[in-house]
Chains A and B, each alone.
Chain A
Amino acid sequence: MSRAPAHSPALERATVLANARVAEGVWLVALAAARTASSVAPGQFVHLRIAEGADFILRRPFSVFRAGGGRIEILYQTLGRGTRALATVGPGTEMDLIGPLGSGWKTPEGVAHALLVAGGLGVAPLGMLAERLARDGVAVTLAQGAPSAGRLLARELFEDVCRRTAYATDDGSEGACGFITTLTPELIATDRPDVIYTCGPEPMQRIVAAQAAEAGVACQVSLERLMACGVGACLSCVVSTVHGRKRACVDGPVFDAADIVWDPAEDPEVRS
């Protein structure tokens, strides 16, 4: 596989340009961060210092959804203290970030067709990827799952750049009723993608990885872990792989699905 170009990370001062709710519990923040915007690769992340002071000792890692024109966009869900605090900041607020970080999505040589599978906020690292693939002439299919129609994210962007989009909702208010993984076997069979990129709840990624393996299609997953340093030093964010424990912050967050040793007991959804 070809490697994403590596740019060394730096501490960068960023200014909030806009911060708005885009769906129930989901926000999009745009930050002016020229260095990161021009160097980040699809699937990489930034380590954001949401607030200063003793209440927030740790930065928070966020995938970059889109980047360009000196700005980066981050899609986030208000789940904990950090993201709730982030949702309160307005334009002009300054914060600093470390970026770009991590090893992002890889595009194998000769890819003609890619399938992107997102569950919930799993679209967060996929915006740039879809745009980049489409620009490079790759036919992109996006399969997105969400609790309901109103929670499907960034539909305009994906419907603009993807050749095909498919949706599944838990309540059946849009697309198929049920998990997105009920649609993916058929999409794999009919689209015959050369590569599958997936992000979302870990059980979903595990199922997509198994479907990809069964179909003999290369699959990459983007995994989320609690993280302290973000630069590979503290070993907080390890992922179990067939090559031992790897760091989500530098060896990932994107991994070859075939390398992951899935442990349902370690699913964040199970743990939290």
Chain B
Amino acid sequence: MSVVDMRVRIGSLELRTPVLTASGTFGSGREYADFVALSRLGAVVTKGVSTEPWAGNDSPRIAETPSGMLNSIGLQNPGVEAFCAEDLAWLAGRDVPVIVNVVGHSTEGYVAVAERLEREDAVSALELNISCPNVDEGGMAFGTSCAAAAQVVRAVRASTSKPLIVKLSPNVTDIAEVARAVEAEGADAVSLINTLLGMAIDTRTFRPKLARGVGGLSGPAIRPVAVRMVWQVARAVGVPVIGMGGIMDAEDAAEFMLAGASAVAVGTANFVDPAATVHIIEGLERFCAQRGIARVAELTGAIRE
């Protein structure tokens, strides 16, 4: 039995640990089952799911950059029916909360996915993705305007009884303003940050390194930006904040919690170390034990200013 109480709450969700997976980096969990005992995670946050299948963007879809990577996957997914029949059916027996990342090209698209997932008991919560920079319609377009964000959250809120987490884009002037707008429409929590819009050009060929030209930057390169935004949002809203952006180890996770996050998500680090989530959970437990912290939740907002 652990000496540190690792449980945290995100609204009505009680999580075993504060470490989640970041959407799009962990498939539906199945892909990592050879490396991670999923039941140790706070939750599995799935790849984005839309009503109909999406083919995603052309290749190349990734590029390595200093302390990070660009991606432009484009939310490729098999659609919500196939997701429920295959991924969710598999996840349902794994003793881990499932948070489904929901994507759409339109408000109706988001609502349709939320309505379809309403009858799935295996879904613990929804994460509304209004921040993907890699699609032409929808995605980030909803997350970079307070009015658009409020409108889609209102519509989805009315169509689901499940806890609703809204994933915010860092590609805005004032992220706290967007956070307040979605809180006002009934979001139960906010998660941030999604990737930062970026670009890399191959100087041998003069071509963009990504087929789509631009993509989303992730990894340690964006961590200071993410910590700053979590800190700003945590003091602007009353709902819990899930922090992410380049978390590679337990100290990074602690940094986000000190800034005000109630839980954290691990993304790019999964590619470096497929068991990164478990290593971060173990490290966070040691981090607390070494400092006489009885409950990991005590870290949330414990920054000394």
Give residues in A with beta carbon < 8 Å to B: 8-11, 49, 54-59, 81, 98, 225-238, 244-245, 250, 266, 271-272
Interface core residue of B55, B59, B73 (most chain A CB under 10 Å): B59
When C-beta atoms are compared, the residue in chain A nearest to B61 turns out to be A236
Let me know if A9 and B34 touch, CB within 8 A. Answer: yes
Q: Which of A11, A58, A233, A266 contacts B64 (CB 8 A)?
A: A58
Given A57-B69, A271-B207, verify A11-B274 contact (CB < 8 Å): yes
What are 11 A-B residue pairs whose CB atoms fall within 8 Å in the complex? A54-B220, A57-B65, A57-B271, A59-B271, A226-B59, A235-B61, A235-B76, A237-B61, A238-B61, A244-B55, A272-B205
Give residues in B with beta carbon < 8 Å to A: 24-27, 31-32, 34-35, 47, 55-56, 58-69, 71, 73, 76, 202, 204-205, 207, 211, 219-221, 268, 270-275
> How many angstroms from the CA of A56 to the CA of B207 in the assembled complex?
22
Cβ–Cβ < 8 Å partners of B34 in chain A: 8-10, 231
Let me know if A98 and B274 touch, CB within 8 A. Answer: yes
> How many angstroms from the CA of A48 to the CA of B56 in the assembled complex?
27
Q: Which of A10, A59, A231 contacts B31 (CB 8 A)?
A: A231
Q: How far is the CB of B148 from chain A (nearest CB, A)?
A: 27
Cβ–Cβ < 8 Å partners of A59 in chain B: 271-272
Q: Which of B60, B68, B272 contacts A226 (CB 8 A)?
A: B60
> How many angstroms from the CA of A52 to the CA of B241 in the assembled complex?
31
A contact patch SS:
loop
> How many angstroms from the CA of A232 to the CA of B271 in the assembled complex?
11
Cβ–Cβ < 8 Å partners of B32 in chain A: 231, 233
> How many angstroms from the CA of A250 to the CA of B32 in the assembled complex?
12
Ordered nearest first, which 6 A-B pairs have the shortest CB separation? A233-B27, A233-B31, A54-B67, A232-B31, A236-B62, A228-B271
> How many angstroms from the CA of A234 to the CA of B69 in the assembled complex?
12
Let me know if B64 and A57 touch, CB within 8 A. Answer: yes
Cβ–Cβ < 8 Å partners of B58 in chain A: 266
When C-beta atoms are compared, the residue in chain A nearest to B78 turns out to be A244
Given A236-B73, A272-B205, verify A49-B272 contact (CB < 8 Å): yes
Given A8-B34, A57-B271, verify A233-B26 contact (CB < 8 Å): yes
> How many angstroms from the CA of A58 to the CA of B221 in the assembled complex?
13
Cβ–Cβ < 8 Å partners of A54 in chain B: 66-67, 220-221
Interface core residue of B207, B274, B275 (most chain A CB under 10 Å): B274
When C-beta atoms are compared, the residue in chain A nearest to B25 turns out to be A234
Q: How far is the CB of B1 from chain A (nearest CB, A)?
A: 27
Cβ–Cβ < 8 Å partners of A229 in chain B: 25, 31, 270-271, 274
Q: How far is the CB of A206 from chain B (nearest CB, A)?
A: 15
> How many angstroms from the CA of A134 to the CA of B202 in the assembled complex?
43
Q: Which of B47, B66, B71, B205 contacts A236 (CB 8 A)?
A: B71
* With A57-B67, A57-B68 already in contact, 16 other A-B pairs whose C-beta atoms are closer than 8 Å: A9-B34, A11-B274, A55-B67, A57-B219, A57-B271, A58-B271, A226-B60, A229-B25, A229-B271, A231-B27, A231-B32, A231-B35, A232-B27, A233-B47, A235-B73, A266-B211
Q: How far is the CB of B277 from chain A (nearest CB, A)?
A: 12
Let me know if A271 and B205 touch, CB within 8 A. Answer: yes
> How many angstroms from the CA of A11 to the CA of B270 in the assembled complex?
12
Cβ–Cβ < 8 Å partners of A234 in chain B: 24-25, 27, 62, 71, 73, 271
Cβ–Cβ < 8 Å partners of B61 in chain A: 226, 235-238
Cβ–Cβ < 8 Å partners of B64 in chain A: 56-58, 81
Let me know if A266 and B270 touch, CB within 8 A. Answer: no
Cβ–Cβ < 8 Å partners of B270 in chain A: 229, 233
Cβ–Cβ < 8 Å partners of A81 in chain B: 64
